Amino acid sequence: MRWNSDLPTMADAQTLTHAGMPARWVAPTNDRGTDAILQVHGGGWSLCSPSTHEGAARQLANACACPVLTVDYRLAPEDPFPAGLEDILAAWRARSPDRRWSIAGDSSGANLSLAAMLSLIKTNETLPACGLLFYGVYGADFSTESYIRNANGPGLTRDKMMRYWDWYAPIEARNNPLVAPLTATDEMLVSLPPLYLNAAELDPLLFDTQALSQRLCALGRNDIFDHVPGVVHGFMQMSSVLPEAREAFLRAGEVFSNITA
């Protein structure tokens, strides 16, 4: 409830079924009528839902001037990899043909968003127009500088991330790019659509995004990466009280508009 106070007014907001899953559709009053975004909520592959991310969906819809669809995909530990990814791919394949679609995700939702794009590359299917990836988890190396420096939080901790990984995928599966996208080949990464990446300074996962950005840059890509100082993991959920969260959505919308212009 604290993440969803003072919700932005939408032109349309409804609960529906999409690809057999409960879902939320929010459309802003400034909808340009051309684009839509599939939002993949975070929560360590095991927590959260379209309801917890209602505020984020509305902020993203306003910033990007297009509707946002959030699906209630299966969660670990009851449904570990590849269940959640399969659901996101099903949601993507069931998208309406009347709009140009992009994908967005935060934390483990960014992981699933990137994994979905890599999977679509493997199967030679239509890719999103762009990917908006917020403080994502892309690898399972718990010895990075940011994991050590921010091991005890605030908020997300190293121990929590290790538990989420154990729930989602066994150690022997973590060299699969669809589980840990940092293990993807250069050929796969260079084939991705344009990406926007951000990361929080006080976050065990900071290095994940830094490492991904460095690899993309080395491949000659022009993906934008913003390192947001002074904030914790999940900060974009705090838009009702945190100016940096509202600014991050506006920044994502700015990049989105430039990519999809």
Active-site annotation holder among 18, 72, 233, 239: 233
Residues whose CB is less than 8 angstroms from the CB of residue 129 and which lie 6 or more positions away in sequence, other chains included? 35, 100, 101, 102, 193, 194, 259, 260
Which CATH code fits 2-260?
Answer: 3.40.50.1820
Catalytic residue status for 49: no
* Residue showing tokens 């991050």: 248
Task: Return the pLDDT at 34.
Answer: 98
Task: Return the pLDDT at 234.
Answer: 98
Q: What are the Cα distances from residue 197, in Å, to 10, 12, 103, 132? A: 26, 28, 12, 6
Active-site annotation holder among 87, 102, 106, 107: 107
pTM above 0.95, yes or no: yes
Residue 171: Cβ-neighbour burial (10 angstroms; 0-12, 13-18, 19+)? exposed
In angstroms, the CA 101 to CA 36 distance is 5
Task: Return the pLDDT at 128.
Answer: 98
Catalytic residue status for 166: no
pLDDT in single tens digits along all 261 residues of the chain: 888 888 999 999 999 999 999 999 999 999 999 999 999 999 999 999 999 999 999 999 999 999 999 999 999 999 999 999 999 999 999 999 999 999 999 999 999 999 999 999 999 999 999 999 999 999 999 999 999 999 999 999 999 999 999 999 999 999 999 999 999 999 999 999 999 999 999 999 999 999 999 999 999 999 999 999 999 999 999 999 999 999 999 999 999 999 999
Catalytic residue status for 107: yes
In angstroms, the CA 15 to CA 18 distance is 10
What length is written for the chain?
Answer: 261
Question: Could you tell me the sign of the dihedral formed by the alpha carbons of 14, 18, 22, 26, in that order?
Answer: negative
Q: Which two tokens stand for residue 116?
A: 């979905």
In angstroms, the CA 165 to CA 162 distance is 5
